[in-house]
């Protein structure tokens, strides 16, 4: 079992990364920081004659590497009650990969993967991030990918997450689960 | 009462725009097509010493113009069960405007506005777009802005929305409401 | 196509009934007012040796009659952001019917039916009744029953629903749909 | 700080009670098993001339005792993706207490309390019980009561909850929180 951590945060070493580290410390993972890549907004060309045109950014290379893993951990700060725009740009592009001849088995491939979400927000995330969790579930359902769990932390200022005992306990519980499945 | 329609679609004359047109035809509105603007992902610098750095894109000009209106209609296709990345990039940047000295009254200003959402999706949007509606509500709640209503349409291929009698009826109902409040 | 309207309200001729009447006026339906029946809370005996014991109330007779229809319209006031307790008692008992030898095809039978929800609430139901709609969807998903639509009205005092133009338009739209499918 | 555990389960020593016990073992609490009380469905008489009529069941006595506590733990099995009908009957009656001259400060009283939800379901409760959590949040919001947290466990057959390490960890975390606040 091979694990990709997909980071949607826009600052380094923020609360989301700290909490995620609690979940993956000592677990072999490959980390992808989406902010380090140039990912353009999707342009919906599903229904044009020519279909999707090649986009000259880092997405195709990135998705290729991520797909080599069996488990995806989506680690995102909660921006305006949903995933960061940085994360959303990445996921929106999946619509293009679904029609990309270079990835003829994209959907089938995702059906075999499992996913986790780790999210940190500042405004009552235990309640207000739930729609985002439901959206991740719908995304997973679309592909037949199993959403195995999620951890929601509460923090805003740098370091604040270290006071969220509940989230830390949940992250450590997730770590045990990941270690058992290695 | 002055109305801004904020379009998050990435293709021209798509289903979202068609349905929105049902709601605003004959109503004086200013239309903003986010895809025509260069809006970069927010970089979270809330907690750096220097604070947010100026970003050289079209956002600041755009938000200035949008803020001149009293009513916002967010018209977005449903991409992966939430607003388009294009729309999300725009809204994420509000975190920056909240701390922008050029907009000292941003929050108070939004508290006086009202909002509507028009969304079109292909995969059971009457159910699967509801988390997105809840997120728009949370966004509005944050500012004290009134989310006055929403219309959800079902369509995927170009033109398909014209067969969604339920959404068309709701859009026309919204149009009557807008006309009454002019 | 035969339609059962299942009323969960506890007062006669209330807002929920008025709105539902907009949707079914002139449509042949059989109306079931749950308040007129004695339906006891389920007692979870799924895992006892003896299984569910017969309950001497009106439920079994009622479910038998309702099952003779093809379409269920659940018409419920929104009590504390979900269906009325009266409606919930009725639905909870489905767990018993699922194991009732007199209804060996209960699940398969429901899989062939379609459902609508009509709900009226007083406290921002367009947003705060959405979790209830999601629950009805999950219930329908369990059985493979199609949740074809829902109408949410806003009203509290008697008669107030008559001012909710949006809900009335949606109810009339539903009526057209029902008439087309007769 | 005084704690009331309000049980909505209909069988003794079920999974919900077991998980709740993990959260309150060694914590002084008063336990209320709603199934042991006769609580009738509310009859909506808010708008009749005479108002709510006295109901001859156990509710009034029960709510009086529960209100003597500062913290409410709602412990309910997930029946059809929401709280048990037994729990719903209890909460529905709050509409009556809100207008009961014997409880003139009911709303103000609840505003000072805090609440937790412990729920156990069999069908993907980590996702499918979220609408119920949102409903509890809305209920708490109505009164200004703080929903401090929730624990969701997965189990169906008797004893199965003992294998849900994630829920057990969360329940124990809640126990620490409760002990700290005593």
- D160 by DSSP, 3-state: which? helix
For residue D80, give the nearest of C10, C91, C131 by CB distance: C91
Which of D85, D87, D90, D160 best tests the C interface by mutation, with the highest count of C CBs <10 A? D85
DSSP state of B35: G
Whether the CB of D141 is below 8 Å from some CB of chain A: the reply is no
Whether the CB of B79 is below 8 Å from some CB of chain A: the reply is yes
Whether the CB of B31 is below 8 Å from some CB of chain A: the reply is no
Structural element, H or E, at residue B143: helix B130-143
Is the CB of residue C156 less than 8 Å from the CB of residue C122?
yes
Say yes or no for a CB contact (<8 Å) between B131 and A134.
yes
ipTM: 0.97
Structural element, H or E, at residue D31: strand D29-33
Say yes or no for a CB contact (<8 Å) between B88 and A91.
no
Mean pLDDT, rounded, of chain A: 96
Comparing alpha-carbon positions, the chain D residue that sits nearest to A125 is: D149
Percent of chain C with pLDDT over 70: 100
Check whether B182 has a pLDDT greater than 90. Answer: no
- At B21, list the tokens: 């047109």
Q: Determine the Cα–Cα distance for residues A77 and A11; give it in Å rounded to an integer.
A: 10
Closest CA to B181 of B152, B146, B151, B129: B146
Task: Give the residue extent of every domain in chain C.
Answer: 3-180
For the stretch A64-123, pLDDT in tens is: 999 999 999 999 999 999 999 999 999 999 999 999 999 999 999 999 999 999 999 999
- C146 by DSSP, 3-state: which? strand
Comparing alpha-carbon positions, the chain B residue that sits nearest to A83 is: B88
Q: Determine the Cα–Cα distance for residues A166 and D152; give it in Å rounded to an integer.
A: 13
For the stretch C45-57, pLDDT in tens is: 888 888 888 888 9
For the stretch C5-15, pLDDT in tens is: 999 999 999 99
Is the CB of residue D37 less than 8 Å from the CB of residue D99?
no
**pLDDT value at residue C61:** 95
Is the CB of residue C37 less than 8 Å from the CB of residue C62?
yes
CATH architecture for segment(s) C3-180: 3-Layer(aba) Sandwich (3.40)
A121, B118, B130, D37, D148 from A125: Cα distances, Å: 5, 25, 18, 36, 12
Q: Determine the Cα–Cα distance for residues B98 and A93; give it in Å rounded to an integer.
A: 29
A1, A181, B182, C71 from A28: Cα distances, Å: 9, 12, 60, 53
Whether the CB of A119 is below 8 Å from some CB of chain D: the reply is no
Whether the CB of D150 is below 8 Å from some CB of chain A: the reply is yes
C146-154 vs C82-83, strand pairing mode: unpaired
Closest CA to C69 of C11, C145, C174: C145
Q: Nearest C-alpha of chain A: how many angstroms from B10?
A: 5
- A75 by DSSP, 3-state: which? strand
Average pLDDT over residues A142-153: 98
Alpha helices by DSSP H, listed for chain C, are 15-24, 59-66, 85-92, 94-97, 106-111, 125-128, 130-143, 165-181
pLDDT confidence of B56, banded at 50, 70, 90?
confident
Whether the CB of D19 is below 8 Å from some CB of chain C: the reply is no
For residue D173, give the nearest of A127, A166, A177 by CB distance: A166
- At A110, list the tokens: 């995702």
pLDDT confidence of D81, banded at 50, 70, 90?
very high
Residues of A whose CB is below 8 A from B91: 80, 85
Comparing alpha-carbon positions, the chain B residue that sits nearest to A137 is: B81
């Amino acid at each position: 079992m091979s694990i990709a951590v997909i980071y949607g945060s826009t600052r380094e070493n923020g609360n989301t990364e700290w909490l995620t580290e609690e979940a993956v410390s000592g677990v072999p993972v490959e980390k992808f920081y989406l902010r380090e890549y140039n990912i353009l907004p999707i342009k919906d060309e599903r229904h044009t004659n020519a279909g999707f045109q090649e986009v000259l950014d880092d997405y195709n290379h990135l998705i290729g590497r991520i797909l080599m893993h069996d488990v995806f951990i989506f680690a995102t700060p909660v921006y305006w009650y949903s995933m960061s725009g940085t994360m959303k740009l990445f996921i929106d592009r999946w619509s293009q990969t679904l029609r990309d001849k270079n990835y003829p088995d994209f959907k089938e491939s995702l059906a075999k993967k499992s996913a986790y979400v780790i999210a940190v927000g500042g405004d009552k995330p235990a309640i207000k991030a739930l729609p985002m969790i439901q959206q991740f579930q719908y995304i997973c359902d679309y592909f037949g990918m199993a959403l195995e769990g999620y951890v929601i932390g509460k923090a805003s200022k740098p370091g604040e997450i270290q006071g969220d005992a509940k989230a830390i306990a949940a992250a450590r519980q997730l770590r045990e689960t990941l270690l058992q499945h290695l």
